[in-house]
Amino acid sequence: MQSQMKESDPILEVENLSASTDNLPILKGVSLTVYPGEIHAIMGRNGCGKSTLSKIIAGHPSYNITNGDIKFLGENINSLEPEERAQSGIFLGFQYPIEIPGVSNLEFLRVSTNARRKFLNKEELDTFDFEELVKEKLEIVKMDHAFLSRSVNQGFSGGEKKRNEILQMALLEPKIAILDETDSGLDIDALRIVASGIKKISNEQTGIILITHYQRLLDEIEPNFVHVMSDGQIIKTGESDLALELEKKGYEWTDNFIKET
Amino acid sequence: MVNENLVKGVVKEPYKYGFVTDIETEKIAKGLNEDVIRLISRKKEEPKYLLDFRLKAFKKWQKMKEPDWAGLGYKQIDYQDIIYYSAPKQKEKISSLDEVDPKLLETFDKLGIPLTEQKKLTNVAVDAVFDSVSIATTFREELAEHGVIFCSISEAVKNHSDLIEKYLGTVVPASDNYFAALNSAVFSDGSFVYIPKGVTCPMDLSSYFRINSGDSGQFERTLIIAEESSSVSYLEGCTAPMFDTNTLHAAVVELIALDDASIKYSTVQNWYAGDEEGIGGIFNFVTKRGKCLGKRSKISWSQVETGSAITWKYPSCLLLGEESVGEFYSVALTNNLQQADTGTKMIHIGPKTKSTIVSKGISAGNSKNSYRGLVKMGTKAKGSRNYSQCDSMLIGDQASANTFPYIKSQQPNSEIEHEASTCRISEDQLFYLQSRGIEFEEAVSMMVSGFCRDVFNQLPMEFAAEADKLLALKLEGSVG
């Protein structure tokens, strides 16, 4: 399976990446390569650097890259603005989607979709055409049309916020989606909806990185690779059974790997 | 706190109305005394009652002290160093637009206010005021067919003297405050509107105020009278060139609404604000007040204040008539070293009167932005209600926002509601929008317009779009 995928070029290459915030090192040499069609899971204790890794790939301004490179479709993106990364096809699903009072969700989705379409040299959509498109995508996450007229994420329940993230992913059709604990705070039904949404949106051309603590998401979306992070490093990589083992033995089990390395 | 690197690349849009029109002007000598006032009055060929009005105001002004309660920081104004009358030289009597100096027409063209017959705005009648005088008023004949009078106040003094004598100074008396007294003594021009009984004004009326000369003050005076069951929507726009000195603008606006009449008064104020170091800019010290004299009358103020080095104004409503309604919708944006102290006074005098206040203050850079307002329920204001909402948004960590709501109630059977909030555009919110492909500047402007939506919804259509753009422009490069 692996060799077959690697006939194409990688979507994302993280090479020996180190990064800090306020002079505090968070990432200490992370390497990760994602090929089209691959699903990677990243697991690890809170504070191990999982979310930081996802934010740095998306271009969060609070972090400084101190060493290493991030390449997207072969190009170094270390110095690109977050919006440039998003337009070119990098998507970050937030662990805690941000509330933006006063900005209508519909308008936000439309402006954002058009920014991506402009990059792809596709025609930008007016409000009517966008309505059509968004209706279709709402189906994927089983969201009610009423969500669109509310302010972005404001007053949304935890599950609604996460579904709104997947709706954005569906509209933006990214090359790679990094989903940061998209499963946290979801009940079983919502988890299924979100998982099936992710599966519908992704295909052989896209890559997915799932950051999660729980096996239950990985039961729905089976990863090709599972990485375990600890203290800013990937300390072990395996296939989907690694997650099962981790679930059984807990993160304490992984402490031994640190000693090994 | 927002990463400064993000904004470094952003080009700051210069103030695009900062040009000066090179035109020969008739100016009187600097300084203020009784003779100057007599001279202004003589130049305008005013009747005696008006000269007396001016002289009385001047006497009062001399006894008054410049107020300092707003705590605004500015260099003392030397009132003897200001020119009180400045007018572009043109033919004595102008019978049509063709006789107006092309340079003046060109100026207003450049400001987006074409006046000539071929190009004039189709849905709005405009009174264009340049320094101390009104240049032209469009659509006069069309309005006259409906009995609507729309002209410069100087003209109204000549042709509608009875109305001026009856109403001038009845809403804002000369003794009201220091700057109102000054204005009453030296006012030069401004707009006059009269809507007769039962008439709904067929189009929006608008005045465009342009300060051109650097060393003269602008003291315009506007008077709007809406007779029984009439209604009018009036818009006001302001710009000025960039000078490194401060120019004083002390206007007075008086509105009068009789039974069942309604006046909607919208302002987009974009006077030159001074540069990033706070050099130059207009001192905008304005008294605006409306009197809901009649039963069920309504006065609604909406304002977008983005310019001026200092803005100091409180468009207010005196609610006398039973069931009369006062409204105040305001967006005040300050950047760099601008200061704004603005708000409203809703004085409930009659029974069952209602007022609504929605104020949105946005402070960026090192600016100071305050809401100051008074809601007063008089002894007879039984069954009256007020609702106030004052929200502040801070951009960056050097700006300040204050809210000073004063509430006085002498009527137990009345309701006053006040809500206030302060928020800050956070780095996380910006990153969220950016991570969806939305450009940094657009992200800021989306959030700011979202914040102002309640007020923008109250503006006439073309003004709302303009206001949105203006805000985005003003904020360019401010998030750091």
> How does pLDDT run across B369-389, given as a tens digit for each residue?
999 999 999 999 999 999 999
Q: Report in angstroms the alpha-carbon separations of A196 from A112, A177, A201.
A: 23, 15, 9
Q: Looking at residue B2, what is its pLDDT?
A: 37
Query: Nearest residue of B to residue A115 by CA position?
Result: B437
Q: Is B39 on the interface with A (CB under 8 A)?
A: no
CA A124 to chain B, closest CA, distance in angstroms equals 14
The separation between CA A261 and the C-alpha centre of its own chain, rounded to angstroms, equals 28
CB neighbour list of residue A244: distance below 8 Å, 6 or more residues apart: A215
Range with the lowest mean pLDDT among A122-126, B245-249, B407-411?
B245-249
pTM for the predicted model, two decimal places: 0.81
Residue B287 contacts residue B176 (beta carbons within 8 Å) = yes
Partners of residue A85 in chain B, C-beta under 8 Å? 435
- Which residues are bridge partners to B88 per DSSP? B25
- Which residues are bridge partners to A65 per DSSP? A19
CB atoms within 10 A of CB B400: 14
Q: Which of A91, A103, A115 sits opposite B447 (nearest CB)?
A: A103
Q: Looking at residue B93, what is its pLDDT?
A: 55
Placement of tokens 């969806």 in the chain: B436
CB contact under 8 A, B451 and A115: no
Partners of residue B435 in chain A, C-beta under 8 Å? 58-59, 82-83, 85-86, 91-92, 94
Give backbone dihedrals phi and psi of B131, rounded to 5 degrees, phi first.
50, -115
Please say if the pLDDT value at position A3 is more than 80: no
Residues shown for chain B? 480
Work out the angle at residue B242's Cα, subtended by the Cα atoms of residues B239 and B247, and round it to the nearest 5 degrees. 75
Strands (E), chain A: 12-21, 24-34, 39-44, 64-72, 75-76, 90-93, 100-104, 151-152, 176-180, 207-211, 225-230, 233-238
Cα radius of gyration (chain A): 18
Q: For residue B302, give the H/E element and its range.
A: strand B298-305
Q: Looking at residue B128, what is its pLDDT?
A: 78
Segment of A7-16, B14-23, B127-136, B454-463 carrying the highest mean pLDDT: A7-16
> What's the CA gap between B433 and B443, in Å, rounded?
6
Partners of residue A97 in chain B, C-beta under 8 Å? 432
> What's the CA gap between B55 and B46, in Å, rounded?
13
Instruction: Write the burial class of residue B110 (CB in 10 Å: 0-12 exposed, 13-18 middle, 19+ buried).
Output: middle
CA B426 to chain A, closest CA, distance in angstroms equals 10
Structure tokens at B23: 């035109």
Q: Model ipTM?
A: 0.94
Q: Is A72 on the interface with B (CB under 8 A)?
A: no
Residue B367 contacts residue B333 (beta carbons within 8 Å) = no
Q: Looking at residue A259, what is its pLDDT?
A: 55
Q: Looking at residue B1, what is its pLDDT?
A: 30
Residues 413-432 of B with CB under 8 A from A: 423, 426-429, 431-432
CB atoms within 10 A of CB B420: 13
Residue B211 contacts residue B188 (beta carbons within 8 Å) = no
Q: Is A157 helix (H, G, I), strand (E, B) or coil?
A: coil
Residue B81 DSSP class: G
- A-B interface: how many C-beta pairs under 8 angstroms? 83
Q: Is A71 on the interface with B (CB under 8 A)?
A: no
User: What's the mean pLDDT when you consider all of chain B?
Assistant: 85
Q: Is B1 on the interface with A (CB under 8 A)?
A: no
Render B1-52 in DSSP notation, one character per residue: ---THHHHTPPPPP-TT-------EEEPPS--SHHHHHHHHHHTT--HHHHH
Q: Report in angstroms the alpha-carbon separations of B22 from A19, B38, B245.
A: 58, 28, 18
> What's the CA gap between B296 and A194, in Å, rounded?
55
Q: Which of B3, B426, B438 sits opposite A83 (nearest CB)?
A: B438
CB neighbour list of residue B63: distance below 8 Å, 6 or more residues apart: none
Range with the lowest mean pLDDT among A90-99, A225-234, B379-388, B465-474?
B465-474
Q: Looking at residue B76, what is its pLDDT?
A: 84
CB contact under 8 A, A101 and B451: yes
CA B22 to chain A, closest CA, distance in angstroms equals 43
Q: Is A74 on the interface with B (CB under 8 A)?
A: no
CB neighbour list of residue B241: distance below 8 Å, 6 or more residues apart: B17, B18, B19, B20, B211, B212, B214, B272
Strand B86-88 versus strand B25-27 pairing type: antiparallel
Please say if the pLDDT value at position A160 is more than 70: yes
CB neighbour list of residue A178: distance below 8 Å, 6 or more residues apart: A54, A57, A58, A90, A91, A92, A93, A208, A209, A211
> What's the CA gap between B322 and B468, in Å, rounded?
36
CB atoms within 10 A of CB B308: 29
> What's the CA gap between B282 and B475, in Å, rounded?
19
**Nearest CA-CA partner of B106 in B20, B36, B27, B192:** B20
Tell me the mean pLDDT in the region A235-241. 91
**Nearest CA-CA partner of A225 in A215, A213, A210, A214:** A210
> What's the CA gap between B241 and B272, in Å, rounded?
6
Q: Is B389 on the interface with A (CB under 8 A)?
A: no
Torsion, CA B31, CA B35, CA B40, CA B45, rounded to 10: -170
Query: Nearest residue of A to residue B393 by CA position?
Result: A101
Partners of residue B442 in chain A, C-beta under 8 Å? 111
> What's the CA gap between B82 and B85, in Å, rounded?
9
Mutate to test the interface with B, among A56, A98, A107 (most CBs of B within 10 A): A98
Residues 159-218 of A with CB under 8 A from B: 168, 172
Work out the angle at residue A165's Cα, subtended by the Cα atoms of residues A161 and A169, and round it to the nearest 5 degrees. 165
> How does pLDDT run across A172-213, given as a tens digit for each residue?
999 999 999 999 888 888 899 999 999 999 889 999 999 998
A146-168 as b/e: b if 16+ CB within 10 A: ebbeebbbeebeebbbbbbbbbb
Tell me the mean pLDDT in the region B218-236. 93
> How does pLDDT run across B123-180, given as a tens digit for each residue?
677 777 777 677 677 788 889 999 999 998 999 999 999 999 999 999 999 999 999 9
